[in-house]
Amino acid sequence: MPLTTRHLNRYRQIAEVLVSHGFGALLAQVGLDRHLGLPWWLFRKEQSDEAEITPAQHVRLALEELGPTFVKLGQILSTRPDFLPPAYIVELSRLHDQVPPAAWELIKARIEEELGEPVERLFKCIDPVPIAAASLAQVHAATLPDGREVVVKVQRPNIQKTINLDLDILYDLARLGEERTTFGRDLLEIVEDFSVFLKAELDYRREGRNAERFRANFANERHLYVPRMWWEYTSSRVLVQERINGLKIDDIEAIEAAGYNRDHLALHCARLIIKEVLEDGYFHADPHPGNILVLPGEVIGLIDFGTVGLLQVSDRAALIRLYVMAVQMDVEGFVDQLMRMGVADINLERRPLQRDIRRLLLKYNGLPLSDVRVQEVLDDLRPILYTYNLRLPNDLWLLAKTFVMMEGVGKRLAPDFDIFAVSEPYVKHFLRRMWRPTEWGPDVWRNLTGWNDLVTDLPRQTNRILTQVERGEVGLKLHITEIDKTVHRLDDIANRVILSLLLAAFIMALALLIPTLNLTWPWGLLTWIIITSFAVMCFLALWLIISIIRSGGGL
């Protein structure tokens, strides 16, 4: 990467901060001393011993000194116990993102630049003193011309240039780390994921769409409120949203003084996260107490939708399978499921992993679910994840972080509250839903489409191969014994494939018809025919599977 003056100056700032925290030798190992043309002795300086500070604390302090990009990177890494040792994860989770607010004149200019009108015409009034200030943005209270109260989230001036510059440097450092160190595995992948995450967070239109989706998902939930977006006042760098006034969810004294029932509030918070995860697969991934408000009527108000997680149906089903296997102490099945999910490498030595998983499950085996703490389970999991290089998708790490935050909120509201008891009917409903044809039908249909393509293309591909053989373009050497038995076996396989395709097609067609039927008793003739045909086809499919197993062919 060509180094501009800005790159070089920023590189030197980064080098100075890291050297001051004792990481000079590491920078020299990746070749940054030659990269920047700096004197070698600068990279041999050690941090002062004025206080006993651990290496993990030095990492956190260095990231805080380096500014918003690196603070955000540290916050992301704090959710990756597969990449860093547990001590670093704990320390990075303490990173703070609070900075002095930018001058009002700069913020005012940014609003007018983005929305194309003077602030005095856009708002009846706007408070120049921000409600909150972070490294990327700050929030101001305002009133629209029609008198409605809103909050205005404004991106800090020049923050985009700063972040782009830092991302360029992070890419360069990640490449050097992978090339020249033994511990730099997957650094580029982490930086790429971080870059996508951070750039998405800087687009406030995306945050607005997240809020609208949550508002739609909870439209029928009377105990949760999501503020309204004002799109005519929103751009990629300015967001205007309805202001909701309430008590912070962790302000227990104020909640009790207002006469709110803490058990009810804990129940509403639990239902919120359970519905998000199991029903919608779309969850608020930053539910810290500052983003959860208690509104009149014991309604939960949710704000700040910059960070969200997405779980496919297959992800949710896999998590429930892991939970069931953990309860049943099925260690081998647990490890198999991790491999199916791509969390564990298929070439991983299973025995040590099974041993450590068994020890973990034994610790919690027999405990009432109300005594199980999510934070404690994650603390026990971290060494296993790091040791065996188990890689969960980012959304699952966000989910773990979300559960820890919500558990903390719930325990403060109602120490005896059992979220597992509340979640049980939702889990059962999800499992019942997974058996519906409308859930598994699309996957079956896609697979049938693949088989259809195979059957359609097979004659043409076979003819092409035989033509190539005839022309001498392909060498074909066969040594077949008992040719009659082999031909008979191939014929049998072909018949089974055709029968399987026909059965699958009939079952799929009938399954798609069932939801359209009137199942009110007594059934009509058409309903009897379709239900009976579906049962017969399922029986034939079962018979086919049993015959294959008995013949020694396997599944």
Active site (catalytic) residues: 286
Interatomic CA distance for residues 496 and 505, integer angstroms: 14
Contact at 8 Å (CB) between 344 and 335? yes
Quickly list H helices, 224-309: 252-257, 262-274
8 Å CB contact between 29 and 181? yes
Cα radius of gyration (the chain): 30
Helix (H) or strand (E) holding 308: strand 308-310
Rounded-to-integer distance, Cα 98 and Cα 139, Å: 13
What's the token pair of residue 448? Answer: 């049938």
CA distances (Å), origin 283, targets 309, 311, 392, 399: 5, 8, 17, 8
DSSP 36-78: HT--GGGGG-----SS---HHHHHHHHHHHH-HHHHHHHHHHT
Nearest one of 514, 382, 409, 499 to 451, comparing CA atoms: 499
Do the beta carbons of residue 14 and residue 176 sit within 8 Å? Answer: no
Q: In this structure, are residues 180 and 83 in contact, taking their beta carbons and an 8 Å threshold?
A: no
Q: Where are the beta strands (DSSP E) in 188-291?
A: 224-225, 238-242, 247-248, 282-284
**Letter for the amino acid at 427?**
V
Residue 112, phi then psi, degrees to nearest 5:
-70, -35
Where b means 16+ CB within 10 Å and e means fewer, 359-391 reads ebbeebeeeeeeeeebeebbeebbebbbebebb
Contact 323, 338 (CB under 8 A): no
Helix residue ranges per DSSP H, 282-373: 313-327, 331-340, 350-364
385 and 81 Cβ atoms separated by less than 8 Å: yes
Burial of residue 528, with CB atoms counted within 10 A of its CB: 0-12 exposed, 13-18 middle, 19 or more buried: exposed
* Residue 137, SS3 per DSSP: strand
